Amino acid sequence: MNIEKPDEMERFQNGKAALFTFAFYGLALLAWSLYEFFTKGDLGWQFIILLMGNVIFFGSRLIYNRKMS
């Protein structure tokens, strides 16, 4: 099996798909966290997962931006 590197169009499409996926998961976890907070008074694990995902995303962007400049 030969795996080829993606061309520019495939990278663009993958980036857009990742953006929509990240937005969906972020909004779903935020809505679930807010629901739990207003019904049970606790944010729950879903909020921690949301925060860790954001830390990983923005941290990796910061690292990659510093490597590029």
pLDDT tens digits for 51-65?
A: 999 899 889 988 988
Measured distance CA(60)–CA(22) in Å, rounded: 14
Radius of gyration of the chain (CA): 17
- Residue 53 sits in which domain range? 44-69
The pLDDT > 70 percentage for the chain reads 97
- Residue by residue, DSSP assigns 16-46 as HHHHHHHHHHHHHHHHHHHHHHHHHS---HH
Q: Is the pTM of this model over 0.75?
A: no
Number of domains present in the structure of the chain:
1
pLDDT tens digits for 31-46?
A: 999 999 999 999 889 9
- Domain membership of residue 4 (yes or no) is no
- Domain membership of residue 24 (yes or no) is no
